[in-house]
């Protein structure tokens, strides 16, 4: 399988991507290992870095290595359904979960006026991806 390479068209803002990569490199042990394993040692070589995916990043490292060293708040650890053949764990902060809920509320109020009339809402969202959610502290 050929990995997509980062280029200016897929990268978006190069400055933001480099800033985010630097932050990840400094705080996430797995990401530091990932960068180092591809010999990325300059801004010029950054474009040679493959996009992270389940196979080359998530499943390659232990959960502990995927968590930033700076974590000082609770996170949700969710387990995917494993539809690709193997379950994957992913993390969401309580803050991001609350933001998702707010976005959903705004969507429902804007499109279905649930705040203006009695409304039956049936929540059938796939969140979190058929999996079990645990709290990481």
- The pLDDT value given to residue 31: 94
- Kindly report, residue by residue over 15-54, the tens digit of the pLDDT: 788 888 889 999 999 999 999 998 888 878 888 888 888 8
Higher pLDDT pick, 137 / 36: 36
List the chain domain ranges: 1-69, 73-137
User: What pLDDT is recorded for position 11?
Assistant: 52
- How many CB atoms are located within 10 Å of the residue 5 CB? 12
pLDDT number for residue 91: 76
Residue 12 φ/ψ region, left for φ over 0, alpha for ψ in the -120 to 50 degree band, beta for the rest = left
Work out the average pLDDT over 81-97. Answer: 78
CB-based contacts of 25, cutoff 8 Å, min separation 6: 31, 32, 35
Rounded Cα distance, 43 and 30, in Å:
20
**In what helix (H) or strand (E) does residue 10 lie, and over which residues does it extend?**
helix 8-11
Which pTM value belongs to this model?
0.58
Q: Coil, strand or helix: which one is 121?
A: coil
Q: What percent of the chain has pLDDT over 90?
A: 20
d(CA 43, CA 116): 52
Tokens for 3, please give them. 């990995």
- Work out the pLDDT band at 76, boundaries 50, 70, 90: confident
């Amino acid at each position: 399988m050929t990995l997509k390479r980062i280029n200016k068209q897929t990268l978006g803002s190069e400055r933001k991507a480099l800033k985010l990569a630097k932050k990840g490199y400094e705080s996430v042990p797995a990401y530091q290992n990932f960068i180092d394993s591809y010999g990325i040692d300059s801004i010029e070589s950054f474009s040679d870095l493959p996009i992270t995916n389940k196979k080359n990043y998530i499943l390659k490292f232990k959960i502990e290595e995927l968590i930033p060293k700076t974590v000082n708040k609770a996170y949700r650890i969710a387990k995917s359904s494993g539809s690709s053949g193997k379950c994957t764990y992913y993390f969401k902060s309580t803050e991001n979960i609350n933001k998702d809920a707010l976005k959903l509320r705004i969507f429902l109020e804007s499109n279905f006026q649930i705040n203006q009339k009695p409304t039956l809402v049936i929540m059938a969202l796939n969140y979190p991806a058929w999996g079990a959610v645990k709290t990481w502290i």
